[in-house]
Amino acid sequence: MSVETQKETLGFQTEVKQLLHLMIHSLYSNKEIFLRELISNASDAVDKLRFEALSKPELLEGGAELKIRVSFDKDAKTVTLEDNGIGMSREDAITHLGTIAKSGTADFMKHLSGDQKKDSHLIGQFGVGFYSAFIVADKVDVFSRRAGAAASEGVHWSSKGEGDFEVATVEKAERGTRIVLHLKSGEDEFADGWRLRNIIKKYSDHIALPIELPKEVAAAEGEEKPAVEWETVNRASALWTRPRTEIKDEEYQEFYKHIAHDFENPLSWSHNKVEGKLEYSSLLYVPTRAPFDLYQREAPKGLKLYVQRVFVMDQAESFLPLYLRFIKGVVDSNDLSLNVSREILQKDPIIDSMKSALTKRVLDMLEKLAKNEPEQYKGFWKNFGQVMKEGPAEDFANKEKIAGLLRFASTNGDEGEQVVGLTEYLARAKEGQDKIYYLTGETYAQVKNSPHLEVFRKKGIEVLLLTDRIDEWLMSYLSDFDGKSFVDVARGDLDLGNLDSEEDKKAAEEVAKSKEGLVERLKTALGDSVAEVRVSHRLTDSPAILAIGEQDLGMQMRQILEASGQKVPDSKPIFEFNPAHPLIEKLDNEQSDERFGDLSHILFDQAALAAGDSLKDPAAYVRRLNKLLVELSV
């Protein structure tokens, strides 16, 4: 063993300790995946070397074939993985194998409940990577040297997977990384050629470079030990280059786990080869579960880019719009140059046409999923619906297609679950209904009971109930779907079009005429608080309601703007009253101007409360109400 210098012991970052603990306790039933994770890392390291060597061929150091070797020692109870990839420097080893670089990790760890069953789901969302070695090993030695560095600049990293790890500088002749797992007692089943071969075939067959295992050979005459011969055990070709018909679902699934660093199978995928003016292959996946950092601005997104089978970069963001940032996959182009950079990608017109084609592929894949696997699509929507709602604003060209993928809660629906699509909504619309009605608000409970829905309930018309923070903003980008326009039922002068009969309309006009006096009196009483006063046709049970002006901002938009520190234009509501309500009749007959004023302000404030708004002057409301209560009781 070579000399070790500059030996030091360092503590793991807190999050690493938490991850280690969680992993060892949640993955005991799926131990063998450690090999998949380590092979996946080794394959990434080789990809990186191959790419860097394009501009610095000396990194290949004479150029032996790029590969991964897995070996074992039954007596010593070890499994060893060796790659001749990019390798790590001492600093690399300290940061990469001692900390977790993902943003939002600390926050994520706070969600751990201590309940192993629940937490084991979370680990799936997080990905396990290198640390999975500690599922089966109670000591891990990593020997590594960065390609291009001197042999004397090797690093030996060693840890028992508890609180800390040791690093020392060592000689390492060959570039790359060797990982030695000292198996825990009871885990020596992994120090077995047959077992290792099976695990590799099962999880890592798709890895594009050879994975070799030692072959059992008899010792030559006169020699005590046989010479080691190596044998490739995986298929060793890039999965996406193979014809679709020859690829099994399991292979697609394992490949996904490798590129996405995910633990669960994907929900769906789409594998395509494009030939013609542009030539490229793509393999795109929809994950089953949202990653924990989906809403982190710096979270990894984008596809893995290959140029003529050579890995060029991770997280190439220019191939898909932001609202599809949860899609994982690879794209392999024959047209781009091998030294393409992120900056070039942003400007290249080739990328634009690839981007629109890939976007369409994803939307098609989602449409298919929604149509053929509605239950799975429900799950998809729960995980990614919020992100999809960013779509209409970002991707004008595909607005109609995205709108068709949206799901909403509705008055028809299941206690606020977002399951109603627009196509389905229109398919069961009332005869003569040429609008898509919706109502936005803070919570499902609030919108469900909103007085705005009274007339719709009476007429049996379905209304979409939108309570996500971004819904009002979303709707400002959607004007119609399938030729039918969207109508916010809390906005403007509700016109039910053909849904009101001629008689209804005539009757309404007559009522409005007969209440002109009351309208004028209310205008005087409410003064500055309202933009307008009018007779309502949308109420059956409530005395009054506040409608938003056609062009005014709704409550959600006001809140979003206020939260971002912007000045929000002042807008006043429209006060609509229900002429048939006994309170309004009472009001109409009220002789005292003072009482009329009090009662109309109370009705106004109540309408604001029912809409989920807060009162400008709650004390005045209470005072007026109490005054009336006192009068009532004498």
Rule CB under 6 A: which residues touch ligand ADP? 41-42, 45, 83, 85-88, 96-97, 127, 129-131, 177, 261
User: How many angstroms separate the Cα of 54 from the Cα of each of 48, 57, 60?
Assistant: 10, 6, 10
Q: How far is the CB of 386 from ligand ADP (least distance, A)?
A: 25
Q: Is 64 exposed, middle or buried (0-12, 13-18, 19+ CB in 10 A)?
A: exposed
- The token pair at 91 is 């600093």
- Comparing CB distances to ligand ADP, the nearer of 85 and 392 is 85
Closest CA to 340 of 318, 360, 323: 318
- The token pair at 540 is 């059956």
Q: How far is the CB of 47 from ligand ADP (least distance, A)?
A: 10
Q: How far is the CB of 35 from ligand ADP (least distance, A)?
A: 13
- The token pair at 147 is 């390609």
Q: How far is the CB of 125 from ligand ADP (least distance, A)?
A: 13
Q: How far is the CB of 233 from ligand ADP (least distance, A)?
A: 18
- Comparing CB distances to ligand ADP, the nearer of 177 and 433 is 177
- Comparing CB distances to ligand ADP, the nearer of 81 and 464 is 81
Q: How far is the CB of 287 from ligand ADP (least distance, A)?
A: 15
Q: How far is the CB of 58 from ligand ADP (least distance, A)?
A: 19
Q: How far is the CB of 314 from ligand ADP (least distance, A)?
A: 10
- Comparing CB distances to ligand ADP, the nearer of 122 and 561 is 122
DSSP for 438-494, written as a single string: EEE-S-HHHHHT-GGGHHHHHHT---EEE-STTHHHHHTT--EETTEEEEETTBSS-
Q: Which residues contact 144 (CB under 8 A, 6 or more apart)?
A: 87, 88, 92, 93, 154, 155, 157, 172, 176, 177, 178
- Comparing CB distances to ligand ADP, the nearer of 264 and 454 is 264
Q: Which residue is nearest to ligand ADP (CB)?
A: 129
- Comparing CB distances to ligand ADP, the nearer of 85 and 441 is 85
- Comparing CB distances to ligand ADP, the nearer of 129 and 404 is 129
- Comparing CB distances to ligand ADP, the nearer of 101 and 563 is 101
Residue with tokens 């070709």: 237
- Comparing CB distances to ligand ADP, the nearer of 49 and 608 is 49
Q: How far is the CB of 299 from ligand ADP (least distance, A)?
A: 13
Q: How far is the CB of 18 from ligand ADP (least distance, A)?
A: 14
Q: Give the residues across from 271 on adjacent strands.
A: 283
- Comparing CB distances to ligand ADP, the nearer of 42 and 70 is 42
E strands within 146-192? 154-159, 164-170, 176-183
User: Residue 14, Cβ neighbours under 10 Å: how many?
Assistant: 14
d(CA 278, CA 359): 16
d(CA 235, CA 231): 12
CB 303 within 8 A of CB 331: yes
- Comparing CB distances to ligand ADP, the nearer of 83 and 212 is 83
Q: Which residues contact 302 (CB under 8 A, 6 or more apart)?
A: 314, 315, 316, 317, 318, 319, 320, 325
d(CA 241, CA 244): 9
CB 173 within 8 A of CB 152: no
- The token pair at 403 is 């709108």
Instruction: Determine the straight-line distance between the first and last CA of the chain, rounded to whole angstroms.
Output: 101
